[in-house]
Amino acid sequence: MAPTLIATGLRVMRSIATHGLGITRAVFTQGHSPYAFMPAFTMSLFLSHDEDDVRRAVQMGLPAGHVLSSAPIDDADDGALRIAFDFDGVLADDSSERISQAEGLAAFHRHEFANRVSPQDPGPLRDLLVNIDKIQRLEAARTLADATYRTRVRVSIVTARNAPSHERAVTTLKNWGVMVNDAFFLGGIDKGPVIEVLRPHIFFDDQSPQLRSASRHAASVHVPYGIVNEPPPPPVVVD
């Protein structure tokens, strides 16, 4: 390692110890993105402000998000960590979104209602949600044992789905065995005002237009996964 990397790594680890964080493992690479090492460390999330790195990670099938420039959060309240997720293309795969894009909203609702008892396949951040759920279940057990304990993690789903397509999302979450504290089925309305009230510390969505509004109120992360993030097909040239 170069001396600058050694000095930087040592400073990071000393800061971790100073703040009493239970972190013992670390990876420092000189100018190289660490996302390729995610499987080796069984990591469930890679965050970066480098959009190219994030897109390459997603193309490799890794859970990753592009951190956008966002407004700071006023955190002078209950001290809980608030995490918000979009559903399709973030927690679940984009198979349903592909129907919406190809055939329209009415076809999407028909398909989702017909498959309301069939869970969707996992999307890029499903495993992250599963790991967060483990923490929430430990907190739930702690609350039963100690009535004075205040839970510190709150999870919300903020999705453009609405009735009748909401039921399949619920079926999917139940099939995964996870619980959430809030679910907002918004029917395509702007998510920004909801995020403003909800005030999550971080919000994940696969659609940039929704994040432009949300990022004014919360730290926002773009997950460049699925059909809405694929480049448009080249134009057909007719001689």
Residues that are catalytic: 86
Question: In one letter, which amino acid is 10?
Answer: L
How far is residue 164's CA from residue 193's CA, in Å, rounded to a whole number? 23
Strands of the sheet with 220-222, listed across from one edge: 46-48, 64-67, 220-222, 202-205, 81-85, 153-159, 182-185
How far is residue 191's CA from residue 195's CA, in Å, rounded to a whole number? 6
Q: At CB < 8 A and 24+ separation, what contacts does 34-37 make?
A: 35/60, 35/62, 35/64, 36/60
Residue 163 is given by DSSP the state T
Q: How far is CA 215 from the centre of its chain?
A: 14
CA neighbor of 163 nearest in space, from 116, 215, 212: 116
How far is residue 55's CA from residue 86's CA, in Å, rounded to a whole number? 18
Q: How far is CA 225 from the centre of its chain?
A: 11
Both tokens assigned to 209: 């237009």
Element (H, E) at 151: none
Both tokens assigned to 57: 């990670």
